[in-house]
């Protein structure tokens, strides 16, 4: 069922706009593929997809022709597929005709589609490296040629940042049949060769864009919360303005050009509590899907330890005992051993019992591990950890589609971002919340841009198609239908244990000072088989070893890294490497230190890139674990220290969030560095909402012109 905006009206002397929802019955006879005006790129994968009602029509009379030659028509589920016969091909311009007889009168009904076919030249190559590190776009504009069609109806013009050596033609794959090519050859739509302006004839669903943008503007006008137009630079909120509704709506009537980069300011209308950071008790304490051994919310129910979103279930699916042979108890103990003493240098240990990760000493916390977790954890009669009493309660289910890859530039493994589950440790002796989180961060594997859009749409539908909280059975079932395919064993064939887990990160201070954040990934189990992987400590991404900012003797190394990567850091597209200047550089753990931030004296000036020295320091430091959970994003005067989702929140209410997520309001986060820079404002849930809305409004074009900040950010 398709809902469309049908009317806009006025009331009194003020602008009052409203939508009348029109319900359109499904078309009983339609050619779903190819579409009118479509450009086909691959003849071998070509097929015609047809939907026809067997109530109104006689499917036995269904016929299809290409350029007057018959196609082979076969039933395909509830639809029909027509394919080319052996030796049959497509021409540069093609006419498709599909007909079927009505049951009522025996008269034919005909559908006609005209489309073109142009195979990609063999010399045009996709670039896998652009998937994780997309071309750095400086500007991107869309010229609308036709508003009533959605195929080959717009021109995309893109410029790249100085220093990027782009090939003259860059292909981008939308789906198996649709590819457009950004070109600076001076041919076809591109005006001048070598002028740095890349042009492509593209498909753009203008009706969808107009409908969504209008809906968001109307929602912002008549909703008290989140009504401003918001502008972000990376993670920072840099601008707010009250929309002039009449002018904004008028600009959507018949635009000739749409700016994609920089994007125009827009309101955040997606409800983050329902589609981005789900933490309502009716969801995270759902008795059939979650488990809390302490009944922290006090509803008299501990839940189901085998529920879809329980700690036990997520660990079980990751261990994949049926496929790996690793018992669940051993799998969990291997993870917990990351805080135990380790005297085996071959497997990450040392003579002192501390761990060594990328040459960084990670202190053992065995005493704290035993007292805070292992000791109070109930055991079975066999002496194994009782996973039916696992001391972790679910705090939030998080949609991070904003961390998606630039799907379409290549064929390498791609993602639609991450799906996260945030758990809080429970102190089992007193059955109270404790200061530790364990965050399961899953990669959402996809193959095409269309799959990214479908995944994003599922999250928006959670918000739009369900009643208000408490969560309805439909909402819970719909959310589980999103999460199950991602977390299930075997969800990522070819990955360790067949699991789509990217990393499991912990943030804790219960096992000893200082506060630490550690990162665990699936790695070969010591003395196990080649197919057995367990959670072992890895480097904390984007975070240099703290010694490079705390030790004056090592500060020149950090200074050298910063000054060698000024442009990328300015654009928040930098990736901190494992080593720098032949020295281990990434930290084995991120920890709290006084006035937590990263900085080194001697940062070079960078006026030409639009970044001050303060901007450079801030962009580097905010993207570290220590900075994001420390002084760059959290003000201890207002926020729970170290946490964006507070595990120490009292029962009976959702976990408290930091102002980095919910909005800093009138009290920006002060600059913690000696540079004496400006305070910074954040509203990251609104940023994620705007990103989701923009993705669904502009579709694959938004992914095409995405900056690398979406793939380098980890928080």
pLDDT at 605: 67
d(CA 344, CA 193): 61
Would you list the domain boundaries of the chain?
A: 28-117, 129-204, 207-261, 275-538, 542-712
Both tokens of residue 651?
């029962």
d(CA 409, CA 127): 6
Is it true that domain 28-117 has CATH number 2.60.40.1220? yes
Beta-sheet strand order (sheet of 93-102): 39-40, 108-117, 93-102, 57-66, 69-70
DSSP letters along 261-279, please?
ETTPPB---S-HHHHTEE-
Both tokens of residue 460?
């928006």
Nearest to 207 by CA among 148, 265, 125, 140: 148
pLDDT at 224: 64
Please say whether the dihedral angle defined by the alpha carbons of residues 322, 325, 326 and 327, taken in this order, is positive or negative.
positive
pLDDT at 711: 43
Beta-sheet strand order (sheet of 137-144): 169-173, 179-183, 198-202, 154-160, 137-144, 257-261
User: Can you tell me whether residue 16 is helix, strand or coil?
Assistant: coil
Nearest to 174 by CA among 35, 2, 51: 35
User: Can you tell me whether residue 454 is helix, strand or coil?
Assistant: helix
Q: How many CA atoms lie within 13 A of 532 on its CB side?
A: 15
Nearest to 119 by CA among 186, 46, 35: 46
Taking only the tens place, the pLDDT of each residue in 79-115 is 999 999 998 999 999 999 999 999 999 999 999 999 9
Q: What 8-state DSSP symbol labels residue 92?
A: S
pLDDT at 15: 33
Tell me the CA distances in angstroms from 17 to 220, 221, 255, 357, one per residue in order: 12, 9, 20, 59
Taking only the tens place, the pLDDT of each residue in 127-171 is 999 998 889 999 999 999 998 889 999 999 999 988 888 899 999
Q: Which residues contact 129 (CB under 8 A, 6 or more apart)?
A: 410
pLDDT at 640: 76
Helix and strand numbers, DSSP H then E, in the chain: 20, 31
d(CA 481, CA 459): 11
Contact 466, 472 (CB under 8 A): yes
Cα R_g (the chain), whole angstroms: 28
Can you list the residues of the chain whose pLDDT is less than 50?
Answer: 1-25, 709-711
pLDDT at 45: 87
Contact 541, 714 (CB under 8 A): yes
User: Can you tell me whether residue 344 is helix, strand or coil?
Assistant: coil
Q: Which residues face 657 on adjacent strands?
A: 645
Return the HEC string of 235-254.
CEEEEEECCCHHHHHHHCCC
Tell me the CA distances in angstroms from 43 to 90, 118, 149, 176, 178, one per residue in order: 7, 9, 23, 11, 12
pLDDT at 443: 97
pLDDT at 221: 83
Both tokens of residue 427?
């102190």
- CA–chain centroid gap for 396, Å, is 16
Element (H, E) at 697: helix 684-698
């Amino acid at each position: 069922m398709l809902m469309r905006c049908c009317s806009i009206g006025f009331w009194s002397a003020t602008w009052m706009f409203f939508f009348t929802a029109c319900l359109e019955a499904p078309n009983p006879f339609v050619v779903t593929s190819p579409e009118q005006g479509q450009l086909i790129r691959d003849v071998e994968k070509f097929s015609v997809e047809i939907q026809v009602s067997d109530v109104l029509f006689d499917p036995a009379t269904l016929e299809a022709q290409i350029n007057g030659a018959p196609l082979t028509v076969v039933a395909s589920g509830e639809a029909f597929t027509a394919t080319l016969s052996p030796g049959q091909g497509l021409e540069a311009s093609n006419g498709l005709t599909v007909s079927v007889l009505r049951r009522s009168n025996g008269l034919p009904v005909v559908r006609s589609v005209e489309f073109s076919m142009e195979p990609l030249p063999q010399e045009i190559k996709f670039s896998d490296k652009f998937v994780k590190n997309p071309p750095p776009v400086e500007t991107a504009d869309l010229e609308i040629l036709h508003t009533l069609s959605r195929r080959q109806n717009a021109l995309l013009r893109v410029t790249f940042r100085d220093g990027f050596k782009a090939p003259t033609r860059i292909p981008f794959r939308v789906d198996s049949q649709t590819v457009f090519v950004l070109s600076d050859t001076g041919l076809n739509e591109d005006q001048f060769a070598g002028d740095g302006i890349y042009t492509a004839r593209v498909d753009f669903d203008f009706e969808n864009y107009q409908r969504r943008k209008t809906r968001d503007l109307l929602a912002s006008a008549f909703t008290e919360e989140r009504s401003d137009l918001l502008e972000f630079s990376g993670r920072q909120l840099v601008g707010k303005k009250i929309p002039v509704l009449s002018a904004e709506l008028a600009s959507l009537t018949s635009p000739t050009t749409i700016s994609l980069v920089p994007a125009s300011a827009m309101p955040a209308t997606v409800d983050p509590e329902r589609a981005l950071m789900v933490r309502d008790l009716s969801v995270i304490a759902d008795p059939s899907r979650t488990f809390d051994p302490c009944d922290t919310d006090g509803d008299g129910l501990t839940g189901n330890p085998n529920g879809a979103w329980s700690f036990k279930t997520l660990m079980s699916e990751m261990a994949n005992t049926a496929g790996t042979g690793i018992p669940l108890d051993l799998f969990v103990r291997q993870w917990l051993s990351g805080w135990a003493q380790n005297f085996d240098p071959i497997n990450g240990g040392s003579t002192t019992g501390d761990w060594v990760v990328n040459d960084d000493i990670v202190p053992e916390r065995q005493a704290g591990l035993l007292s805070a977790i292992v000791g109070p954890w109930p055991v079975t009669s066999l002496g194994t950890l009782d996973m039916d009493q696992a001391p972790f309660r679910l705090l939030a289910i998080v949609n991070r589609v904003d961390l998606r890859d630039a799907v379409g530039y290549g064929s390498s493994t791609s993602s639609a971002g991450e799906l996260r589950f945030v758990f809080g440790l429970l102190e089992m002796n007193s059955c109270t919340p404790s200061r530790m989180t364990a965050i399961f961060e899953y990669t959402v594997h996809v193959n095409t841009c269309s799959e990214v859009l479908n995944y994003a749409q599922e999250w928006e539908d959670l918000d739009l198609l369900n009643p208000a909280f408490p969560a309805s059975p439909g909402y819970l079932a719909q959310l589980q239908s999103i999460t199950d395919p991602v977390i299930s064993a075997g969800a990522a064939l070819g990955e360790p244990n067949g699991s789509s887990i990217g990393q499991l990160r912990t943030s804790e201070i219960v096992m000893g000072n200082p506060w630490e954040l550690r990162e665990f990934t699936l790695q070969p189990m010591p003395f196990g088989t080649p197919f057995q992987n367990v959670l072992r400590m890895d480097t904390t991404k984007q975070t240099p070893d703290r010694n490079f900012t705390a030790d004056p003797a090592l500060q020149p190394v950090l200074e050298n890294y910063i000054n060698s990567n000024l442009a990328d850091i300015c654009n928040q597209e930098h990736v901190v490497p494992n080593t720098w200047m032949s020295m281990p550089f990434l930290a084995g753990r991120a920890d709290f230190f006084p006035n937590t931030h990263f900085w080194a004296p001697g940062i070079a000036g960078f006026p030409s890139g639009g970044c001050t020295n303060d901007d450079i320091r801030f962009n580097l430091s905010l993207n570290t674990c220590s900075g994001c959970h420390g002084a760059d994003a959290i003000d201890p005067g207002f926020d729970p220290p170290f946490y964006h989702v507070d595990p120490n929140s009292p029962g009976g209410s959702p976990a408290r969030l930091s102002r980095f997520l919910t909005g800093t309001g009138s009290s920006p986060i002060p600059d913690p560095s000696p540079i004496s820079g400006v305070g910074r404002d954040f509203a990251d849930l609104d940023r994620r909402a705007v990103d989701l809305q923009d993705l669904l409004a502009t579709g694959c074009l938004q992914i095409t012109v995405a900056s690398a900040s979406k793939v380098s950010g980890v928080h």
